[in-house]
Amino acid sequence: MAENMPEVIVESLASHAIAKAAQLVRTIVTDAVQQRKTCSIALAGGTTPHSLYKHLAGEAIRGEIPWSETDVFFGDERDVAHDDVASNYNMAQRTLLDYLPIPPDRIHPMPADAADLDAAAEEYEQLIRNRVPAGPGGLPCMDLILLGMGADGHTASLFPGTPEALNEGDKLILAHFVPVLGRSRMTFTFPLINAARNVLLFVLGQDKTETVAAALSGQAGARREIPAARIAPANGQFIVLLDGAAAQKLELPAE
């Protein structure tokens, strides 16, 4: 993170951080539609976004966001069917997408259950290239990529100990075997993540405290050891949103 230091926002309570994340999503999506008549976002999987998606689906905020003009992609996916309980798409569908007026042809789940994962990754990359306009660097420039981070520092499905995935410089979507999980994942790569107009890294929980502090330290070893420390949008805004528990080791005042 040292190359492009993010804006770090700390909210004392997880509930406040969730509300702040929803506010940021609302602003980014609304501004994109007002400026470009369309918006492209990538949703994250895992446990942290679950409460955010339920918040976004709530009646109080749902009508304020121009979802019908939004294309929804996914930053990573497990190698399971879309109706599997472990599927990131399934989680997002149950908590958020089923409640939003998004045309079905604007929701794009990752085909991570395909027989040929490499071919499926290439197809998903081509879909993104076709649907998302290129930015200053010539790569698709998503309006918002929402990411989480595990206690081990992984983000999307870019894990420590997967150097080929972490160092991928050409492919935007990659299917790869993750040894620590013992199975394959499909994921955005850093070239696509760092081409985005906005990246929101949303982290909650005390189990992330040490990793958050290390990732934000700017130390040379962080980029080697912590995948999330490689997030550095070349021409975009990078926001790290934390609750007080995740930010305990940072010398930042909680809001």
Whether residue 203 is predicted with pLDDT greater than 90 in this model: the reply is yes
Q: Give the pLDDT score at 1.
A: 44
| 248 part of a folded domain | no
Task: Tell me the pLDDT tens digit for each residue of 5-51.
Answer: 799 999 999 999 999 999 999 999 999 999 999 999 999 998 899 99
pLDDT band (50, 70, 90) for residue 223: confident
Q: Give the pLDDT score at 162.
A: 96
Query: What 8-state DSSP symbol labels residue 3?
Result: G
Q: Give the pLDDT score at 46.
A: 86
Q: What is the mean pLDDT of the chain?
A: 94
Measured CA to CA, the distance from residue 45 to residue 56 in angstroms comes to: 15
pLDDT (mean) for 132-153:
96
Task: Tell me the pLDDT tens digit for each residue of 234-253.
Answer: 999 999 999 999 999 986 54
Tally the domains of the chain. 1
Q: In terms of pTM, does the model score above 0.75?
A: yes
Measured CA to CA, the distance from residue 151 to residue 226 in angstroms comes to: 10
Domain that holds residue 201: 2-219
DSSP 55-121: HHHSHHHHTTS-GGGEEEEESEEESS-TTSTT-HHHHHHHHTGGGS---GGGB----TT-SSHHHHH
Per the DSSP assignment, residues forming a β-bridge with 39 are: 70
| Contacting residues for 62 by C-beta, under 8 A, at least 6 apart | 56, 99, 100
Phi, psi of 156 (to 5 degrees): 50, -135
CA distances from 110 to 10, 136, 243, 249 (A): 31, 26, 29, 35
Look at 63-67, 201-205, 208-212 and tell me which has the smallest mean pLDDT.
63-67
| 177 part of a folded domain | yes
| 243 part of a folded domain | no
Percent of the chain with pLDDT over 70: 96
Number of Cβ atoms within 10 Å of the Cβ of 225: 15
| Contacting residues for 54 by C-beta, under 8 A, at least 6 apart | 95, 96
Number of Cβ atoms within 10 Å of the Cβ of 207: 11
Give the torsion through C-alpha atoms of 15, 202, 26, 41, to 10 deg: -150
Whether residue 4 is predicted with pLDDT greater than 80 in this model: the reply is no
Whether residue 109 contacts residue 77, with contact meaning beta carbons closer than 8 Å, is answered with yes
| 235 part of a folded domain | no
In this structure, what CATH number is given to the domain that contains residue 20?
3.40.50.1360
